[in-house]
Amino acid sequence: MNNPPVFSPKAYRRILMPGFLFVLTLVIVVLLWITMVNQDSVWERLLFLGGLFGSLYGFVVGFFFYRENDDKRQKHFDWLHIVIVGVSLGIVLVLVPAEIFAFTYTLFVLNIISASLAFSVKQVRVLVLLAFLVHAHGYFQEGYLSRTEDLAVILSFPSLGLIVSEMVHWFQETILHTFRRLNTVNAISRKLSSSLDEEEVHAWLKEAIRGVLDADTYYLALVDDDYLDLGLFYDDGEYFHAVKIPIEGTLGGWAIRNEKTLFLNDLRIEPKLEGVKTRLVGKERASLSWLGVPFKTEHVVGLTGIASYSPLAFTQRDVELLESLTQQAALALNNARQHKLVTMQARIDSLTKVYNHGYFLEHFKEELASARSDNTHLSVIMLDVDFFKDYNDTYGHLIGDEVLMLMVKTIKRFIKESDAIGRWGGEEFIICLPKTSLEKAQLVAVRIQETLEKMQISLLDHQNIPVPTVSQGIAEFPREADDAFRLIDLADQRLYVAKERGRNQVEPGPLG
């Protein structure tokens, strides 16, 4: 995938430089030639020449100057530059011959543009003020200020300077803001394209939205049955976790159902969307601008939304930017979900949907290490279906498969979410019970045994048949073994003791 280029604030200066430099050189050459011909006083010629070179210096330094730091020496240089350029422009405005006076507007504007590119608004205003004062003082000495047209000329320069300065600073801020957005999107795109973790995708998307969009609220919602699961939800300076809202009747639900961006920039007016009502989520405060971009991939369906407490807060550029970010995030989420599914398929038994032998053993070792570190109990139950081969031969393998799935479902009823169950092989299963003593594990085993004894399965001819019984062996860490294989081997030995005692047994039985 080709990433977009990284922009810098200097880029547009390099583009504009040749044209500006040519125009400025042409203006100064014309002014020099005509003035040297028409100017009678050597002093005035030298002064005018100094003003022109000061203006040239101001343009070159301002245009090519780029502050990398704000130390005190740099600031002193900034102000010295402003004084030199301001006075130089004022001198040129006073001494330039009347027949070429129009050229000075170009010279003045070029200097204001270059200064605005390098210095603050305050500094450029001081430059304009200095040029105005020198210009006005020169005209006052010559006795020109009595005429209305002279007053208009003098006032036209500071007015033009301030207008140009504000326009350049606005244009520069717009360009810089665009550069920052593009750089942020570019950086986030690279991170998203390489991420295979959903939580990481949420974090990168949060960073992107905070960096480039001025929103009071933002969230990433994934469709979960009839609900929107807001895994990432930020509202007015606070993050909210585990937020779920019904998908029907919501703005997000409408965007997802219609598969198109919904942009409502003034919610002071109730949106005319069939079956939709605005809903407060997070802080008890209504948003007045809302933007939602839906996405749909092979493995995930959802929406990225932003909102503001101010009306008319977003622009069409914000819409396009959020659509771009959402597309990147959707692809990353889809890749992460697909990677998770592939990983789980490698860990899960295809029939019973519990851990397979290899992954259960890996998980069991981690749980045992954790129990050793925390100095807590851990119990393991080995469970085997009695006479399962005979059962399969009598009723068929489809009924046998149904029995295994029913047994797994029963086991899950009596174990915690933190517990784990694996298919050890064939009709033999193993259960890991962290932070569980031998006595509590026996209670779990007995409940599984008693529940299975009462269950029945209906055949196609509506004949009810009993579910086979199970034999179970239990062992506890660290009381009876301190190693994963020894613990499993002990539980397996006790399983066979239970079978030898007549099956449908738990070994060891209730402790005295």
CA pair distance 109, 135, nearest whole angstrom: 15
Yes or no: say if 230 and 221 are a contact pair by the CB < 8 Å rule: yes
Contacts of 498 (CB under 8 A, 6+ apart): 471, 472, 473, 505, 506, 507
Q: What is the rounded CA–CA span in Å between residue 481 and residue 297?
A: 49
Which residues are designated catalytic?
427
Give the pair of three-digit tokens for residue 87. Answer: 């006075």
Q: Which helix (H) or strand (E) holds 293?
A: strand 289-296
Using alpha carbons only, how large is the chain's radius of gyration in Å?
39
DSSP designation for 414: T
Question: What DSSP assignment string belongs to 190-240?
Answer: HHHHT---HHHHHHHHHHHHHHH---SEEEEEEEETTEEEEEEEEETTEE-
The Cα–Cα gap between 329 and 149 comes to 63
What is the rounded CA–CA span in Å between residue 331 and residue 326? 9
Sequence-distant (≥ 6) Cβ neighbours of residue 80 within 8 angstroms? none
Residue 454: enclosing H or E segment and its boundaries?
A: helix 438-454
Cis peptide before 9 (omega within 30 of 0): no
